[in-house]
Amino acid sequence: MAEQRGAGEREAAAEEILWREEARRFETPDGGAYLQDRLLAQPRSASPSCGGGGGATAAAVMDLVHTYVPGSKRGRGLAARLCDAAFAHARRRGMLVLPTCSYISETYLPRNPAWNELVLTDKEPKPSSM
């Protein structure tokens, strides 16, 4: 129950995290802490019912490559808030997430398994850079 409360508190605090599209990163207002991403294309076959005519379409994949929090701001849950904002952003835009950053794959996702539904799996072909 405490984990759920913590996640809810972080969700409320996530509004303090800014999305800087031109820099491809989520950051604190001062820019000191950030989560860097890069946009990838994921090939998928389009079904005729989607109007795709059977060709391949590309679904966006957000590769979360690096999370940085300066030493003076560590231990406050800031890295998790950056991740909360990034995963919420991906969900709103119908994107998948590739958790390249070791903090996200080894620490954040095990503590926040609800986001696993957005994670690109090994069963899907590897994405290419856009």
* CATH number for the domain that contains residue 45: 3.40.630.30
Q: Domain range for residue 17?
A: 2-129
Cα dihedral: 41, 44, 50, 55 (round 10): 100
CB-CB neighbours of 59 under 10 Å: 16
Checking if the pLDDT of 42 tops 70, the result is no
Catalytic-role residue among 33, 98, 101, 109:
101
Which pTM does this prediction carry? 0.74
pLDDT tens for 82-113 read: 999 999 999 999 999 999 999 999 999 999 99
Total structural domains in the chain? 1
Q: Residue 1's pLDDT band (boundaries 50, 70, 90)?
A: very low
For residues 12-40, average pLDDT = 89
Active site residue 50: no
CB-CB neighbours of 20 under 10 Å: 11
